[in-house]
Structure 1
Amino acid sequence: MNPLNERQTRGYFLFLAVFSAILVFLAFLGGWVQTQLLGEAIAQREAAIASSLTEQGVPLTALATAFKNTEVTKSGLSFLTKIGHSKDTPIWLTASTDKSSAWFLTFGVCAMLLTAILLAVSFFHLSRRERLYTQAADILSKFAAGDFSVRLPRNQPGALYRMFTRADQLAMALYSQNEAEHKSQEFLKQTISDISHQLKTPLSALSMYLEILQNETENPGTVRKFSEKALRSLSRIENFIQTLLKIARLDADSISFESKPCNISSLAAQATEEFRTQAASENKKLLMEGPSDAYLLCDSLWTKEALANLVKNALEHTSSGSTIRITWQNTSLTTRILVSDDGCGIPPEDIHHIFKRFYRSQTPSHSQGIGLGLPLAKAIVEGQSGILSVQSHPGEGTTFTMSFLTKP
């Protein structure tokens, strides 16, 4: 991990590097200048001493011997102390006070200027960081309040922006989860309302039939008539609950489909068997067309359930004299089972909603079922990696197609 990936940190580090280089240069320059000043002070001092002694008539040989001497004696130190010169005396100041003061003043001003620059740049850098942190804190506060319309700074290098990116991704995940929970709550609310609506009618009818039976105990014909109606209402409630349970099991993935080779002709015959009496009483035809040796790898019980729901839907939405066809086709890639009718068709505004649970057409002329047959059929087909599609033209009829991949 490279801390210099972030642009602001990299810029501040570059400034410190340049600033440090300048300080090192000034330190070397100051040392060199001080050495030069010290040399000049010593040379000037020696020149002054030599001039004074020669003016007083001291022999040159004595002066040369004195300047070459390196031995320090107590009498010499005592003399220097008496005249105010000791080891603590700044030699360069005594020789060149004005020049030394100018150099020290120059270095002092440079030091103050560099310190001011360092403090200013550091304050500017920290201020930018503070604004960035404040902006991030405000955005996180909005996330906590449920407002996900803003985004943290991102798409820049550096550990801080990577953290912002992760926080932003976490916020989006929370937003998606909140949306899913909201939709789930709305769906649950709507489902409970639909279930209540579907149960209300048969329960009300059953209550009325039981009340009539209670008051007509002496009339066998009335008892028989309303007992049959009560049984039909109970059967409707039972079918409704069983369908709900099947859909719930499919949603929970608690059903394991057992795929086995199944003869499609036999499957279609079993799926339509329970509807033949109803079709005959309503003057409708149930026809089956397809090769008798065609097979489909599927769970026969659940696939028959899906096919039966499609046939039932066709019977509910066709009038007397209509024909309902169950056909099947085998290709090298897919096996398709089609349920077609020549009824009134599905209005364009309804066709995209027919697989939604409890959906009921807004067209008054349409027969109103409980709105679970088609969703159940779709769940069964898709649970076996198939596709359930629909084509319909108002006034011409509807065709539902179950498509499965042909497996060896």
Structure 2
Amino acid sequence: MLRNRQLRNMLLIMILLSIVGAIIIYYMHPMAGIISFIMMCLLALCSILYTFQRYREIEKLSSYLRTISTGNYSLDIRDNEEGELSIIKNEIYKVTLMLTKQGEFLKKEKEQLADSLSDISHQLKTPLTSMMIMIDLLSDANLKPDKRIEFTKNIEIQLERMEWLLTSLLKLSKIDAGTVTFKKEKVFVSELIQKSLEPLFIPIEIKDQELKIEGNPDIGFYGDLNWTSEAVINIIKNCIEHTHNGGIISIFYKDNPIYTEICIGDNGSGIGKEDLPYIFKRFYKGKNASEESIGIGLAMAWSIIKIQNGDISVTSHKNRGTQFHIKFYKQIS
């Protein structure tokens, strides 16, 4: 405590003033001078004890901060008393809580990153292994021409699958990192549906599926047409894949004062109850998922819709079909 120069100067001034004051009073009245000197000494002692106590509290705070710096956030120093030290204690406790939450969030992020890397490695390992085997077979000079064409075609399919996976992961990583700027423009749902269906007309035609679209062409919302189209494509694609030949893909959209809703459904095999809570989770593949499914399309759709003040939910019944409900909430001006 006495290492503090300001405190030493204060004590020195207090002592000098006490001595000078006591001497002056002593010349005026000896007994009063003695009493005043004693009282001044007691006041100085009380001041020293009070300062010493404050230094002990400050030392506790310093020790607490050192503990925090080691990563231990379990201590609780909340103080309901009045005073500046109590305020500092409570503020430090608030910072500790914030650091605790940030630490938990960072830990969770690391775990998710590790899981994602593991999933990506697994997703890439299968097509790579398959291609290596086929390339080895293609090196055989005695391989029949029809088999050579078949293996070459399979390698092309695997490469396209890997390209789609890596492109999708890149888009998702940009969304997660917040580096994507989503536009806030008027998007007409009819235009969005038309744009989303363009790359899917051939798969629909191949499976001889019926396409039903219903909605007011004037209905729209504020968002990003291109990115929202990415989400809708993945949802419709999921419906096409899980609907039998000759099935029905239905798209219905409507509007109300609170949100614009787009309903995309099918009359396919449906999604099992045990799978419903996880279908928007990355790399999750339900029991009815096809072998080509990677489990990233619906996760991307969920991220794109959520970041645009939207929501997506799903209802499904076995062998009766699945319905995706997309809602874009309106901004209150």
Q: Do both share a fold (TM > 0.5)?
A: yes
Distance 1:174 1:294, change over 3 A: closer
Task: Give the fraction of aligned pairs with identical amino acids, expressed as a percent.
Answer: 30
Query: Corresponding residue for 1:198?
Result: 123
Residue 388 in 1 paired to residue 309 in 2? no
Please tell me the residue identity of whatever aligns with 2:232.
L
Q: Is the 8 A contact 2:192 2:229 kept in 1?
A: yes
- 2:326 counterpart SS class: strand
Give the match for residue 4 of structure 2. none
| Residue identity matched to 1:197 | H
1:310 offset after TM fit, Å?
A: 0.2
Distance, in Å, in 2 between the alignment partners of 1:33 and 1:129 is 35
- Counterpart of 1:370? 294
Question: Is residue 213 of structure 1 aligned with residue 127 of structure 2?
Answer: no
Q: Deviations over 1:39-59 (max 9, x none)?
A: xxxxxxxxxxxxxxxxxxxxx
Deviation at 1:332? 4.3
1:130, distance to aligned residue in structure 2 (A):
6.0
Following TM superposition, by how much is the alpha carbon of 1:273 offset from its aligned partner in structure 2, in angstroms? 3.6
* Contact 2:271–2:288 (8 Å) recurs in 1: no
2:263 to 338, 343, 349: 338
Distance in 2, Cα, partners of 1:278 & 1:396: 21
Retained in 2: the 8 A contact 1:288–1:327? yes
How far residue 197 of structure 1 moved from its aligned partner, in angstroms, is 0.9
Residue type of the partner of 1:401?
H
Q: How does 1:33-44 map to 2 (within 5 A)?
A: none
Deviation at 1:337, TM superposition (A): 1.3
Give the C-alpha shift of residue 392 in structure 1: 3.4
Contact 1:216–1:223 under 8 Å retained in 2 = no
Q: 2:131 aligns to what SS in structure 1? A: helix
Which residue type is aligned with residue 170 of structure 2? L
Asked whether the equivalents of residues 271 and 316 of structure 2 are also in contact (C-alpha less than 8 Å), the reply is yes
Cα deviation 1:347-375 (Å, max 9, x = unaligned) = 444433332322334xx344462222112
Report the Cα distance in structure 2 between the residues aligned to 1:295 and 1:289, rounded to whole angstroms.
14
Q: Is it true that 1:400 corresponds to 2:321 in the alignment? A: no
Partner of 2:216: helix, strand, or coil? coil
Q: What secondary structure does 2:263 align onto? A: strand
| 1:92-131 equivalences in 2 (<5 Å) | 125=50, 128-129=53-54
Task: Tell me, in whole angstroms, the C-alpha distance in 2 between the residues paired with 1:123 and 1:211.
Answer: 87
What CA deviation, in whole Å up to 9, does each residue of 1:164-199 have, x standing for no partner? 233223323332332222222212211111111111
| 1:274 aligned counterpart, secondary structure | helix
Counterpart selection for 1:227 from 149, 152, 169: 152
Does 2:268 align with 1:326? no
Distance 1:167-1:406 versus aligned 2 partners, 3 A rule:
closer
Matches within 5 A, 1:5-404: 31=29, 125=50, 128-129=53-54, 132-133=57-58, 135-215=60-140, 219-282=144-207, 284-320=209-245, 322-361=247-286, 364-367=287-290, 369-394=293-318, 396-404=320-328
Q: Is the 8 A contact 2:137 2:143 kept in 1?
A: no
What RMSD in Å do the two structures reach over aligned CA positions?
Answer: 3.7
Q: How many pairs are equivalent?
A: 310
**How many Å separate the matches in 2 of 1:241 and 1:173?**
35
TM-superposition CA deviations, 1:208-262 (whole Å, max 9, x none)? 2222222156522111111111110000001111111212222333333345555
**CA distance, structure 2, for counterparts of residue 290 and residue 305 of structure 1:** 20
Cα deviation for residue 116 of structure 1 reads: 10
> Normalising by structure 1, what TM-score?
0.63
Q: Distance in 2 between matches of 1:393 and 1:196?
A: 33
* Distance of 2:221 and 2:69 partners within structure 1: 53
Q: Provide the C-alpha distance between the structure 2 equivalents of 1:332 and 1:115, rounded to a whole number of angstroms.
A: 76
Give the 3-state SS of the residue equivalent to 1:156 in structure 2.
coil
CA positional deviation for 1:132: 3.5
TM-score (norm 2): 0.75
Contact map agreement 2:250 2:266 (CA 8 A) in 1: yes
Give the residue type in structure 2 aligned to 1:340. G
Partner of 2:11: none
Q: 1:231 to 1:172 in 2, by over 3 A?
A: same
- Call closer, same or farther: CA 1:117–1:174 in 2, change over 3 Å: same
Structure 1: give runs of 5+ residues left out of the alignment.
1-19, 35-106
CA gap of 1:260–1:112, structure 2 versus 1, over 3 A, is: closer
Q: Is the 8 A contact 1:317 1:343 kept in 2?
A: yes
Change in Cα spacing, 1:385 to 1:143, as seen in structure 2 (3 Å) is: same
Q: Separation in 2 of the partners of 1:139 and 1:165?
A: 12
Q: Distance in 2 between matches of 1:406 and 1:153?
A: 42
